[in-house]
Amino acid sequence: MTGKVSDLQTVYPFGGGATSGDPRAKDKTIVGGKGANLAEMADIGLPVPPGFTITTEECVRYLNEGGEFPAELRRAVGEAVGHIERSVGKRFGDANDPLLVSVRSGARVSMPGMMDTVLNLGLNDETVEGLAKTSGDARFAWDSYRRFIQMYSDVVLGLDHGLFEEALEIAKEDKGYYADTEMEAEDWQALVAEYRRIAEGELGRPFPQTVTEQLWGAIAAVFDSWDSDRAKVYRRLNDIPAGWGTAVNVQAMVFGNMGDTSATGVAFTRDPATGERAYYGEWLVNAQGEDVVAGIRTPQYLTRTARDRAGAKPLSMEEAMPDAYGELARVFDLLEGHYRDMQDIEFTVERGKLWMLQTRTGKRTAKAALKMAVDMAGEGLIDEKTAILRIDPMALDQLLHPTLDPEAPRDVLTTGLPASPGAASGRIVLDADTAETWAGRGEKVILVRVETSPEDIHGMHAAQGILTARGGMTSHAAVVARGMGRCCVSGASAVSIDLKARTLRIAGRDLAEGDVLTLDGSTGQVMAGEVATIEPELAGDFGTLMEWADRHRRMGVRTNAETPVDCRMAVSFGAEGIGLCRTEHMFFDASRISAVRQMILAEDEAGRRKALALLLPEQRADFAEIFCTMAGRPCTIRLLDPPLHEFLPQGDAEFEELAEATGFGADHLKRRAAELHEFNPMLGHRGCRLGITYPEIYEMQARAIFEAACDVAADGEAPVPEVMIPLVSSKRELELMRALVDRTAEAVFTERSARIDYLVGTMIELPRAALMAGEIAEEATFFSFGTNDLTQTTLGVSRDDAGRFLGAYVDKGVFARDPFVSIDIDGVGELVEIAVERGRGTRSDIKLGICGEHGGDPASIAFCEKVGLDYVSASPYRVPIARLAAAQAALRAGAGDA
């Protein structure tokens, strides 16, 4: 019954009493997610139509070997078809009582709508008659056959599906029908003849009548779909390796289109948008699978409560088919208990009997993920650690962005389904390519479509939000938008689009491409113009999960911030200190840029000191405000880092302005500016090199820090400044700068008759600094890894210029990921490890942190945990992400040790 090639099976049967002790039969990497879960459902006794799965390994082999099927595979598939035949009691290709199958893709992870499925395979001019007889329903038989020809022609033969749709429209028009449901048996039969003519005309040969040819054609199409353009785009967006391949599931058909006691549907065991513990789903009477998702007919609600809430007329399944619904509800509970997570389910009811066609862990919004994790821990379904590990840290990003201000006025045009939460404003675009182009030039866009299809993926990704006129909560648009974290309003039927004129009408209001629209994915509201937003907060389940995360993490989490607003926000997000305060940001402020420029353009030390004296009170006030906001939490303040010419005037007007302020002539100033020009400023006169050449600059900054600290300590909690010297590569540099800082501190303490604790340390951002860390640690009480510059200097890649080639480098596999987003563990990571080891060798209690962009990237945070850093520092909005990622890293490290 099972096919063996050498010692590894290529085909695994499921259902119909087939069980396998082979762990590969339920291994997602071998049989794909769909296959593994079908086998699992069958094993726990759920009603699953029997079938078999061809392994992903066979797909990879087929694609590598130029589309050939080995004889062993043909034999194994033949035997597995026999398994289905025996279980169902029908034979494939039998003219009297034919077995029909579906051929379904199923990769290791679900790729919604990315690959193609063929239903009703096994129908031909003879078997259709048999099906009509055995079912006693000729209309059903011919409808199934025309669906098969349509799908097979599209998916396997690559014919334009528009041709078939057009023929159907004409047939309906001729008869004066409005809906497909009005078509009679003879109408479908006539249409089948027309379909076959179309197929033959396009192909130059008849539509395949041999059922085994149909089967192998479909298997090949599923394998080939792994390398289709849309699958490739999806893989790239989701970091799915090309080498995984897809499995193929061949399964006995069950029919939801056998009249009014039959139905098909999709459901979630909890609400995937809100996380609420309530069954959530959509179904259609007398329909086949694709009908629900494709948005051809508007689906009905599954439960009575959902229908009441929406005020919808058509009966819920709970009301219309109470027995099948009761059975389904029992299955929901069983599956959730079994998988201990929310399930996304496909089912079909054939003449009153429930069949399960798919289950998988359901995609959900970040909000729902948090609620489900916290609820399930409360229900005892999972423990606290599992709850923490279950949330994708990056998904929190969805919740850390502004939402629409409930007080702001809204010009509501219409309300659709709240398919994916969040708020978005942007300009209307009517197709995916336009979305991508406009977004590429920095515009915020809202993609508006009748409904979306897998071809629209790139546009959905580029858009801030998606609005569709058709389709329910489980439509393509809704599922994909939730997965991407894009806000989406679906099924807004008051939207009508005129693609030719590039205009649209929403409930009587005329709009055009380019007009601004706002979507509220949490309520389904569609509004004209832009609506004001408010800042998010960590309340409810989010707050609870963050508390749990804090209990399990080892590393501290700080923030990179320099304005009181950012500091306050970061603290509200749980930041435990500042990991990087960039003092130069304060220099750009309009009120002081003139003094900064006087300082830079001064001819000598006296001139510089004069200008610095103007800056001192300003810097002191800045630091005092930050220290107050941070209320005793540690603050790492980096002394001036960028090359001075970054602050110079741009253009004649600014030079004239400066000339007026300083009394120097504009020409003189321009000459000084030209003298400061550098060929490679990133490697030029910057960082501690400024402090070494112009000690008075760092001295002023140190004075501002200590005076502010003393002031704040006098009437509140004493701050703990950590003075950080940038771009150090040798011990001597730090020795000089540290002496300067210590001297300044002592002077201030004497003047104020006060004393506060402080640290002096350095950034490790040059490869030489990492290598010399042992010596440098003699002068430093802390290191902070400046991994942005460390990446630039280690790779010899300028971040600002990398745009031209980085894409190609990632595509061609030179870099697995953008090294400025996720730390290059092999190269930059090794330097970090060396510095940690040598630094600790000299000073065992040296404080170690990271302040590059990587401090907010979960994969990099896991690396920081592994090398034993004390804290990570991230931008304010990334602080919660870092807290969760740090907890997960600690939990995983702990699990690894055990």
Residues binding Mg ion (CB under 5 A): 358, 765, 786, 789
Rounded Cα–Cα distance for residues 2 and 11 (Å): 7
Cα separation, 616 vs 404, in Å, equals 41
3-state helix, strand, coil in the chain (%, to 5): 50, 20, 35
Question: Which is closer to ligand ADP, CB of 228 or CB of 386?
Answer: 228
How many residues lie near ligand ADP (CB under 6 A)? 16
Neighbours of 753 (CB within 10 A): 7
Among 189, 225, 348, 701, binds ligand ADP (CB under 6 A): 348
**Residue 33 within binding range of ligand ADP, rule CB under 6 A:** no
Name the helix (H) or strand (E) containing 433.
helix 432-440
Q: Report which residue type is found at 805.
A: F
Concatenating the DSSP letter of every residue in 59-103 gives HHHHHHTTS---HHHHHHHHHHHHHHHHHHT-EET-SSSEE-EEE
Binding of ligand ADP by 302 (CB under 6 A): no
161 in active site? no
Q: Known catalytic residue: 851?
A: yes
Q: How far apart are CA 336 and CA 41, in angstroms?
A: 12
- Residue 426 tokens read as 């942007």
Reference 638, options 860, 821, 852; nearest CA is: 852
404's CB contacts (< 8 A; 6+ apart) are: 410, 423, 518, 520, 531, 532, 533, 534
- Selection from Mg ion, ligand ADP, none that 786 binds (CB < 5 to 8 A by kind) is Mg ion
Q: Of these, 345, 357, 557, 581, which contacts ligand ADP (CB under 6 A)?
A: 357
Q: Does the protein bind ligand ADP through residue 346 (CB under 6 A)? A: yes
Q: 166 or 290: whose CB is closer to ligand ADP?
A: 290
Region binding ligand ADP by CB under 6 A among candidate stretches 112-120, 210-218, 542-550, 594-602 = 112-120
Residue 37 within binding range of ligand ADP, rule CB under 6 A = no
Q: How far is CA 179 from CA 143, 173, 176, 320, 552, in A?
A: 13, 10, 10, 22, 58
The item of Mg ion, ligand ADP, none sharing an interface with residue 765, based on CB under 5 to 8 Å by kind, is Mg ion
Residue 117 interacting partner from ligand ADP, Mg ion, none (CB closer than 5 to 8 Å by kind): ligand ADP
- Residues of this chain, 244-283, that bind ligand ADP according to CB under 6 A: 251-254
Partner in contact with 791, chosen from ligand ADP, Mg ion, none, beta carbon below 5 to 8 Å by kind: none
- Residue 751 exposure: Cα atoms within 13 Å on the Cβ side: 12
Binding at 55: pick from Mg ion, ligand ADP, none (beta carbon under 5-8 Å per type):
none
49 binds ligand ADP (CB under 6 A): yes
Catalytic residue among 487, 567, 851, 864: 851
Nearest CA to 418 out of 519, 506, 497 is that of: 519
87 binds ligand ADP per the rule CB under 6 A? no
Residue nearest to ligand ADP (CB): 289
In angstroms, what is the minimal distance from the CB of 786 to Mg ion? 4
Q: In the chain, what is the straight-line distance between the N-terminal and C-terminal CA atoms, in Å? A: 42
Which entry of Mg ion, ligand ADP, none binds 254, CB below 5 to 8 A by partner kind? Answer: ligand ADP
Q: Does 295 bind ligand ADP (CB under 6 A)?
A: no
102 contacts which partner out of Mg ion, ligand ADP, none, CB within 5 to 8 A by kind? ligand ADP
DSSP for 740-801, please give it. HHHHHHHHHHHHHT-----EEEEEE-SHHHHHTHHHHTTT-SEEEE-HHHHHHHHHT--GGG
* Residue 409: count of CB within 10 angstroms of its CB: 10
Looking at 83, 458, 461, 476, which residue is catalytic? 476
> Residue 149's closest CA among 183, 193, 116?
193
Scanning 111-119, 332-340, 550-558, 632-640 for contacts with ligand ADP by CB under 6 A, the matching segment is 111-119
Shortest distance in whole angstroms from residue 536 CB to ligand ADP: 33
**CA-CA distance, 706 to 620, in Å (whole number)?**
8
Q: How far is the CB of 357 from ligand ADP (least distance, A)?
A: 4
Considering beta carbons, is residue 151 or 708 the nearer one to ligand ADP? Answer: 151
Q: CA 756 to CA 765: how far, in whole Å?
A: 28
| Nearer to ligand ADP (CB atom), residue 251 or residue 860 | 251
113 contributes a contact to ligand ADP by CB under 6 A: yes
Residues of this chain that bind ligand ADP (CB under 6 A): 49, 102, 104, 113, 117, 119, 251-254, 289-290, 346, 348, 357-358
Catalytic residues: 476, 851
